[in-house]
A and B are shown apart, each in its own frame.
Chain A
Amino acid sequence: QKEVEQNSGPLSVPEGAIASLNCTYSDRGSQSFFWYRQYSGKSPELIMFIYSNGDKEDGRFTAQLNKASQYVSLLIRDSQPSDSATYLCAVNRRNYQLIWGAGTKLIIKP
Chain B
Amino acid sequence: DAGITQSPRHKVTETGTPVTLRCHQTENHRYMYWYRQDPGHGLRLIHYSYGVKDTDKGEVSDGYSVSRSKTEDFLLTLESATSSQTSVYFCASQRGLEKYEQFFGPGTRLTVL
State the A residues within 8 Å of B (CB): 8, 32, 34, 42-46, 49, 88, 90, 92, 95-98, 100-103
Chain B binding site: helix, strand, loop or mixed by DSSP? strand
Cα A34 to Cα B94 in complex, Å, equals: 13
Q: Which of B41, B58, B100, B101 contacts A102 (CB 8 A)?
A: B41
State the interface size on chain B (CB cutoff 8 A): 24
A49 touches B56 (CB 8 A): no
Taken together as a complex, chains A and B put the C-alpha atoms of A26 and B50 apart, in Å, by: 25
**B74 interface residue (CB < 8 Å to A):** no
Mask: chain B, 36-70; 1 = CB below 8 Å from A; 0 = not? 00001111110010100000101000000000000
Closest 9 CB pairs of A and B: A102-B42, A43-B104, A100-B43, A92-B100, A32-B100, A100-B42, A43-B107, A44-B104, A43-B106
